[in-house]
Structure 1
Amino acid sequence: MKLMQILLSQSEAGAETYFEKVAAAFATDPDFEQRLVIEAQPSRERRLSNAGVDFRTLPMGSVSKPLLYNYMLKRHVAQFAPDLIVTWVNRASRKCPPTQAVVVGRLGGYYDINNYRKCDHLIVNTPDLVRHVTDHQWPLDRVSMISNFGELPPALNVSDPLPEIPAGHKVLLTLGRLHQKKAQDTAIRALAKIPDTTLLIAGSGELLDELQALARAEGVAERVRFLGLRKDIRQLFDLADICLFPSRFEPLGNVVLEAWATGTPIVSAASTGPSWLIEHERNGLLFPVDDAERCATEVNRLLHSPELAETLVRNGAEKYQREFSESVILDQYKTLFTKLVAARRAGKPTTTHT
């Protein structure tokens, strides 16, 4: 099958990172001839090249973009003549040119469904997103729920120096852009009540100065490391004793899956996605959103109970391998893509009930 995936974004956020992971996985599958179309972005191009992914770029220059961007997008689609196109994030779904291919929009958030009207079918990654799209008049038989996987492909890794950790300190790791939704402020406030620990915050964003000021005000500035944007996530998980995920708003939570995949016990705010994934005290610990006191209580509890940590890791790994591993998720993608392409060739609707 000829598979094209289109991402029109300069962001390095969760959806874009997961796009790269899926592309790297399909690049090794002999059943697929894959090609990506992405906006020119040197860092993403280096990672994809290192992973052996075939891609074409769209120009982003101040002159070349307005003149050639849409033309090149249409040309890349026409030249490759895919059987199926996956469009990632809103812009790719809006701008996908006319094609004979099956067009599948992939949503990982509560996006405006009007961006996806060119799509024949949708993939969402949580049951609540199925509800979201059907509440906005998208037909139920044209949406499939396929979640994410959490493996961290070595080929996409970009090494950076690891932070120094004071002797005797445990390490908490939180990942995500520095944004109000990600609630790094909750983690910093909790840290004031978690002795002998260092908090690693991996991510970039507009709240850096505000969060640094909060760390000083809470008296924990010496125990917080702001790492910026990182692409050595596996090494950071290897360094961490606990993954701390305080997000206020999280449709799914790739970080939960990555923690399970790397054998790292997780303490998470009970936002929508983590509450769906985590069974409290079985494969992770949950605390109420914005509750720094309860966050600290759960982290301290875990730090003082190696038996509990071992139980959470074991059960998380079992659930992960059963439901969210790369092989499980890719098989679901492949089954759906095969069905949709076969339906198109037979002149039938591209639904899940053909």
Structure 2
Amino acid sequence: MRVMQILLSQSQAGAETYFEKVAAAIAQDPSITQKVVIEALPPREQRLDNAGVDYFTLPMGKLSKPLLYDWKLKSIVRDFKPDLIVTWVNRASRKCPPTSAVVVGRLGGYYDLKNYQKCDHLIVNTQDLVRHVTDNGWPADHVSMISNFGELPSRLSVPAPKPVIPEGHRVLLALGRLHEKKAHDTLIKALPDIPDTTLLIAGTGELQGQLEQLAEELQVSDRVQFLGLRKDIQELFDLTDVCVFPSRFEPLGNVVLEAWATRTPIVAAASQGPSWLITDGEDGRLFEVDSSTECARAVNQVLADDGLARRLAENGHRVFLERFSKDVIVDQYKALFQRLVNERQARASNPADQPGSPT
């Protein structure tokens, strides 16, 4: 089976990071011939090189982009002749060229379905996103729910200096872009009530200055380290006592899956995705969205009780192995791809089954 995956984005946020993980996983499967199309972005190209992913780049120069971008995308699709194309995020789904391949749009959020009119099928990663797309008129038999996997592939890791942790401090880790939705402010507000801890925040965004100022005002700036964009997430988890995910709005929550995969206790705000994934007190702790008081209470409870921390981590890891491991999720992708390709080929070989064919 010939599969093409297209991502047209300069961002290095959650959806784009997960795209790289899926591309790297499928590159290891001998039953699939994969080609990936991305916009030219040297850091992403280096990671895909390291992961053995075969990719094409689209030009992003001031002159080359308007002149060659669309033409090159069309020629890549035409020359590769894929059986199936996966388009990631809105832009790739809008710009996918005309093709005889099955086009599958992958959604990880509550996106406008006008962007997916060229798609034959959709993949979403939560049941609530199934509801979202069907409520907005997408046929129920043309959408599949396949969640994300939690492994952190070493071949996509980029080494970076390890944070220095003060003697006697426990480590809290928060991952995600510095955006209002991610609610890092809630966690920083909780930090005065979580003594003897250092908070590592891995991510970039427009709110960094505001968050740094908040930490100064609360007199915890010496306990908060803003690490910027990091691609050594496994190494950060190795330092971590509790992963905290305070997001106000989260359809799924890759951070939860990554914490489970690394056997790290997770404390999360009870937004849409985490409250779907986590059973409070069994495989993680949940607190009310925007409540810094509840956040501090939950984190302190886990830090104070080694038995609880181990139980949450082990139970989370068990859920990960059963439902959210790379093998489980990639097998679901492959089964869906094969079914869609077989159906397309069957229709092509029997024109009488085509809509509008004479009877």
Which of the five TM-score ranges fits, normalised by the shorter chain? Answer: over 0.9
* Distance across 2 between alignment mates of 1:320 and 1:137: 32
**Aligned letter for 1:294?**
E
Deviations 1:305-331 (A, max 9, x none): 001011101110111100000000000
SS of the residue 1:283 aligns to: coil
Q: CA deviation at 1:115?
A: 0.3
**Aligned letter for 2:181?**
K
- Does 1:228 pair with 2:228? yes
**Aligned letter for 1:5?**
Q
- Does 1:47 pair with 2:47? yes
* Distance across 2 between alignment mates of 1:8 and 1:345: 28
**Aligned letter for 2:319?**
K
Corresponding residue pairs, total: 350
1:180 is matched with which residue?
A: 180
1:64 is matched with which residue?
A: 64
**Aligned letter for 1:174?**
A
* Distance across 2 between alignment mates of 1:345 and 1:104: 16
Q: TM-score, normalised by structure 2?
A: 0.97
* Distance across 1 between alignment mates of 2:207 and 2:317: 33
* Distance across 2 between alignment mates of 1:9 and 1:34: 19
Deviations 1:185-242 (A, max 9, x none): 0010011100000000000000010000000001100000000000000000001000
* Distance across 1 between alignment mates of 2:257 and 2:112: 26
1:38 is matched with which residue?
A: 38
Write out aligned runs for 1:125-204 (5 A): 125-204=125-204
* Distance across 2 between alignment mates of 1:42 and 1:299: 38
The percent of aligned pairs where both chains have the same amino acid is 67
- Two-structure CA RMSD over aligned residues (Å): 0.9
* Distance across 2 between alignment mates of 1:239 and 1:311: 19
* Distance across 1 between alignment mates of 2:118 and 2:79: 20
1:7 is matched with which residue?
A: 7
Deviations 1:86-121 (A, max 9, x none): 000000000000001000000000000110010000
Write out aligned runs for 1:180-329 (5 A): 180-329=180-329
2:103 is matched with which residue?
A: 103
SS of the residue 2:144 aligns to: strand
* Distance across 2 between alignment mates of 1:332 and 1:66: 38
Q: CA deviation at 1:18?
A: 0.2
Q: TM-score, normalised by structure 1?
A: 0.98
**Aligned letter for 2:81?**
A
**Aligned letter for 1:163?**
P
* Distance across 2 between alignment mates of 1:113 and 1:218: 43
SS of the residue 2:49 aligns to: helix
Unpaired runs of at least 5, structure 1: none
Unpaired runs of at least 5, structure 2: 355-359
Deviations 1:138-180 (A, max 9, x none): 0000000000001000000001001100000000000000000
Deviations 1:241-285 (A, max 9, x none): 000000000000000000000000000000000000000000000
